Amino acid sequence: MTVFDEATAVLPAGDGRYDVKPDERFAIISGDGTTVGAVNGGVLMATVLRAVLDSSPHPHPVATSAHFLRVPRPEPAQVQVTWLKQGRTAATARATLIQDGAPVLETTVTTGRLGPAEGDAGLSWTGEPPRLPPIEECLGFGKAAKRTQFRGFAGQVDLRLDPATAGWLRGEPAGSPEMRGYFQLREDRDPDAYLLALAVDALPPVVFGLGAVGWSPTVELTWYMRAVPAPGVLRVAARCRHVSSGWFDEESEVWDSAGRLVAQSRQIARIGRGA
C-alpha cells in the first residue's frame, strides 16, 4: 500500500460513518520545515470519496463539490455519508468530514459510471491537451523536498512545472496567473479517481504567477471526473480569470498519458499568508 492510500484510508464504523485521520505526511510544509497546519485539500477530498464509493451503487465520482470550512489537524476524524438519491444511472450523497464535533469539509458527491452510454453509439470527443516541454526540461521541487527532509506534501508528489509558468521560483513571476506541469506521486502508483481528486488541487496557486506567493486557502472547489485515466504521468494546466479584493478563481484541467481530458475543476480561494 502506498503512502497516499494509507493517508486516505477509511474504516467503516456503522450507520454511514467512517473513521479517518488527516495525515501530516500530506500537510503543507514551509521552506524552513515548519508545518503550516493544513493537510492538502485534494487528499481530504480523496478520503471523503473513499467513504462515499464504499456504499455507492456506481463506481466513479463524476461530480464533487467541496466547501473547506476549517483547517483539519492530523488527528482522528470521521466522515458521515448520507445518501440523497440512488438512481439507476446516478446517485448523490452528502458527505461531511467532522473533527471534534465540527464540520471541516462539506461535500456533495454524484457518482455514476464512465464510458459509452446506452444508445450514444460510442460518441466521444476531447479537446487538445496542454503543450508542455519534455518532462526533463521542467522544474521540479526536489530542492524544496530536500530542505523539508521529504516531509509533507512536497515530499510525496513529483511535480514538474513548465518553466514558462515557474518564474516565481526565482523571484521573477511571469505576470500571468497560469500554472502548467506534470504530476505524479513519488511512489509508483497508477492514477485513478482518488489521485485525480489530488491532481486537480496539486499545482501551486495560479496567483504565484502574479507574485502573490504564500498559502492561498481554497474556500470552495468543484471538480468533475471525465474519464478513467490511463497509466502514466498526468498533465495539469490551471488558469485564473479574475483577481480582486483578496479573492481569486482557478480553473484546472487534468490530462492523462493517452492525451484525454480526465478531470476538470473550478475553485474560489483567498490570497493568503505571505502574499
Residues 234, 46: Cα–Cα separation, whole Å? 17
> Is 208 contained in some domain?
yes
Residues 6+ apart with CB under 8 A from 190: 229, 231, 232
**Whether 142 contacts 115, CB under 8 Å:** no
Give the pLDDT score at 144: 44
Q: What single-letter DSSP state applies at residue 17? A: E
Q: Is residue 120 part of a domain?
A: no
Q: What CATH number did the domain enclosing 59 receive?
A: 2.40.160.210
Q: pTM surpassing 0.85? A: yes
105 domain-assigned: yes
What's the pLDDT score for residue 126?
80
Instruction: Write down the pLDDT at residue 124.
Output: 76
Q: Are 256 and 236 in contact (CB under 8 A)?
A: no
Q: Kindly indicate the confidence band of residue 30, based on its pLDDT and cuts at 50, 70 and 90.
A: low
pLDDT band, very low/low/confident/very high, at 273 (cuts 50, 70, 90): low
Residue 146 lies in a domain: yes
Q: Name which of 47, 24, 37 is nearest 152 in CA terms.
A: 24
- Whether residue 162 is contained in a domain is answered as yes
Among candidate residues 203, 23, 152, 204, the one with its CA nearest the CA of residue 97: 23
pLDDT in tens, 140-180: 864 444 444 456 888 899 999 999 999 999 899 999 999 99
What does the pLDDT look like over 213-260, one tens digit per residue?
888 899 999 999 999 999 999 999 999 999 999 999 999 999 999 999
For residue 125, the model assigns a pLDDT of: 79
> Range of 220's domain?
3-114+132-270
Residue 124 lies in a domain: no
The answer to whether residue 192 sits within a structural domain is yes
Domain count across the chain: 1
C-alpha cell at 91: 446517485
Whole-angstrom Cα Rg for the chain: 18
Q: Is position 261 within any domain?
A: yes
Residue 96 has pLDDT above 50, yes or no: yes
d(CA 174, CA 243): 16
For cell 496542454, the residue is: 130
